[in-house]
């Protein structure tokens, strides 16, 4: 696509910059990148808004000059640390793209194994495998300038962010919980239907993706600002859900890792 340079984009007659953007993946399912390419009508607009220098899901050419790096995935191998540091050194803006990059994502489930060596042997046998004992978010190794939450990210949200970057507008992620959007969508509350949901403590912005389909929220976007996790425990209890049910969800994507650890400690202390 770089062969056919689109004409200079303008907004209200004013030329808009076309930042050089690259996508990278560390340990991930590449589902976040897939989100971006799966709607072709807006994909073309998106691609003409930025100058894509690397995007494995969408093109084969690869260039090393970029100012914005979208990094998907968590860090689980030592070579990934090196790669990430190199990306950081090149990019003016580094974006943690999706919940793996922001919190470790589903991969960080392995952080709780008591005996990683045993697990490695059970899973891979004698096959040599180079992997760290923990899956870590990007910010454990490099400075992250912007986080885009979600497992996967929400395409509309990414497009909005990129459009705002190009136009020089401020970027704001919702600070309130999923319930705000869920109520706006007029869903029946999952708790009324007898299902658990982390919506009251999870950061909004997904347009209550799961409750819209009658699935309780699993907290993939991590905690809302000022999330009341203690009260969430009370709500779960009142509705007859066990502490393990809540912990399963809290631990799934890593955003609530601290809260989950504290909860486990409190249970042990009881």
Partner 1 sequence: MLFRTAEKTELKALFDMLVEKNTVVGPVQTDTDRMGKPLFAFEPVTDQAKLRLDYTTTRLPAKRYFLPFREDLATFTTDGRDWTKTIGYNIDRPYVLFGLHACDINALNKLDKVLMGPVYPMPYYAAKRKNMFIIGTDCRPQPFCFCRSMGADTVLHGFDLFLTDIGDKYFIEIQSAEAYEVAKDLRTETPTEADHMQFMRTVAEMNKLFTAHVDTTDLTKILDMEFQSPVWKQWGDKCLGCGTCSNVCPTCYCYGVEETVDVSLKKARKTKTLYSCNVVDFAEVAGGHNFRPERSTRLKYRYYHKHRGFVEAYEESLCVGCGRCGEACLAGITVPEVIASVRGEEQ
Minimum distance, C-beta of residue 184 to partner 1, in the bound complex (Å): 4
Q: Which of 202, 155, 152, 148 is nearest to 179 (CA)?
A: 202
Q: Count H helices, E strands: the chain?
A: 11, 7
Quote the DSSP letter at residue 227. -
Binds partner 1 by CB under 8 A, chosen from 40, 89, 194, 270: 194
Residues 54, 91, 190, 236: which binds ligand SF4 (CB under 6 A)? Answer: 190
Q: How far apart are CA 111 and CA 132, in angstroms?
A: 10
The two structure tokens encoding residue 89? 């050194």
Decide if residue 178 touches ligand SF4 (CB under 6 A). Answer: yes
Structure letter (DSSP) for residue 14: E
- The pair phi, psi for residue 45, each rounded to 5°, is -60, -40
Least distance to partner 1, CB of residue 11, Å: 5
How many residues comprise the chain? 270
Residues 209-228 contacting ligand SF4, CB under 6 A: 209-211, 217-221
Is residue 12 within the footprint of partner 1 (CB under 8 A)? yes
Residues paired with 142 in a beta bridge: none
Neighbours of 217 (CB within 10 A): 25
For tokens 């042990």, what's the residue?
268
User: In this chain, which of 38, 231, 242, 266 binds partner 1, going by CB under 8 A?
Assistant: 231
Binding span for ligand SF4 by CB under 6 A among 24-32, 58-66, 134-142, 191-199? 191-199
Closer to partner 1 by CB, 125 or 194: give it. Answer: 194
Which residues on neighbouring strands pair with residue 25, listed in sequence order? 72
Q: Which residues bind partner 1 (CB under 8 A)?
A: 9-13, 16, 42, 45-46, 49, 159-160, 162-164, 167, 169, 174-177, 179-180, 183-186, 188-189, 191-194, 199-201, 224-228, 230-232, 234-235, 238
Q: Which residues bind ligand SF4 (CB under 6 A)?
A: 178-179, 182-183, 187, 189-191, 197, 199-200, 202, 206, 208-211, 217-221
């Amino acid at each position: 696509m770089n062969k056919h340079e689109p004409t200079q984009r303008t907004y209200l007659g004013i030329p808009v910059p076309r930042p050089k953007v690259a996508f990278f993946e560390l340990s991930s399912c590449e589902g976040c990148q897939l989100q971006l390419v799966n709607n072709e009508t807006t994909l073309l607009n998106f691609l003409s808004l930025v100058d894509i220098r690397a995007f494995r899901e969408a093109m084969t050419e690869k260039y090393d000059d970029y100012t914005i790096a979208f990094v998907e995935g968590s860090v689980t191998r030592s070579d990934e640390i090196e790669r990430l540091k190199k990306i950081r050194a090149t990019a003016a803006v580094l974006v943690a793209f999706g919940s793996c990059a922001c919190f470790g994502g589903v991969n960080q489930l392995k952080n709780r194994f008591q005996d990683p060596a045993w697990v490695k042997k059970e899973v891979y046998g004698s096959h040599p495998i180079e992997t760290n004992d923990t899956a870590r978010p990007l910010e454990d190794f490099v400075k992250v300038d912007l986080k885009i939450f979600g497992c996967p990210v929400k395409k509309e949200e990414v497009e909005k962010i990129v459009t705002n970057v190009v136009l020089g507008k401020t970027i704001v992620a919702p600070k309130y919980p999923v319930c705000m959007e869920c109520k706006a969508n007029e869903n029946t509350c999952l708790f009324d239907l007898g299902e658990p949901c982390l919506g009251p403590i999870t950061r909004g912005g997904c347009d209550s993706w799961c409750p819209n389909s009658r699935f309780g929220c699993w907290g993939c976007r991590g905690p809302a600002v000022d999330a009341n996790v203690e009260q969430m425990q009370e709500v779960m209890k009142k509705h007859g859900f066990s502490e393990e049910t809540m912990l399963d969800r809290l631990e799934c994507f890593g955003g609530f890792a601290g809260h989950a650890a504290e909860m486990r400690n409190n249970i042990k202390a009881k």
